[in-house]
Amino acid sequence: MKALLIVDIQNDFLEGGSLEVKNGNAIIPLVNKIQDQFDVVVATQDWHPATHKSFAANHEGKQPFEVIDLNGLPQVLWPNHCVQGSFGAEFHSDLNTQNIQAIFRKGTDIEVDSYSGFYDNGKRNSTGLLGFLTELQVTEVYVCGLAADYCVFYTAKDAANLGYKTFVIEDATKYIDEANYQQAKQEMLAFGVEFVNTEDLL
């Protein structure tokens, strides 16, 4: 069984959003085009309380993109984004959501951020994605979405570590920082993650 994991295609990460990923909107038609090639389609959704401690605004005197220690983990401080129930947290209206069988929300605990679709950053809590894929006997996981150097990276790394044959659909994802992404890509390759493009799947 092959699963497509659509990571965080939400308004705040797209054009005009508070944490816009450059050219992020360009991946949406590609993600829509490949969905029929998979047995299972799931999506992750950043879903933060407004008081989340990964937000720079919740730390007096701190600026976005500073790094702090948050409960023993390094934490990038982000602009407020994907606040529960907000427009910014919604999936982009151009994304075809009809094939999505389940949505896994992450970043709901104010004390810890959650980049991966499987666990929070401290691996203390699971999103339920692993149990869902296990029940459906999924063996291959294909990851697309935003952003390549954060949530896509951590989701793919966890999938590989959990024993899935893991692919990143490279043209159906965009990064925040290129140098950061190149480093993340080398790490993914070392974990056995393979890279494909949408045309390889059609």
Active-site residue 82, yes or no? Answer: no
- 85 φ/ψ sector (left φ>0, alpha ψ -120 to 50, else beta): left
Q: Which of 46, 53, 82, 106 is catalytic?
A: 106
Active-site residue 144, yes or no? Answer: no
Cα dihedral 130, 140, 47, 61, rounded to 10, equals: 100
> Which string of b and e fits 123-148 if b means at least 16 CB within 10 Å?
eeeebebbebbeeeebebbbbbbbbb
Contact 92/11 with Cβ under 8 angstroms?
Answer: yes
Q: Which of 151, 157, 174, 185 is catalytic?
A: 151
Cα separation, 19 vs 186, in Å, equals 25
Active-site residue 113, yes or no? Answer: no
| Residues belonging to the active site | 8, 106, 151
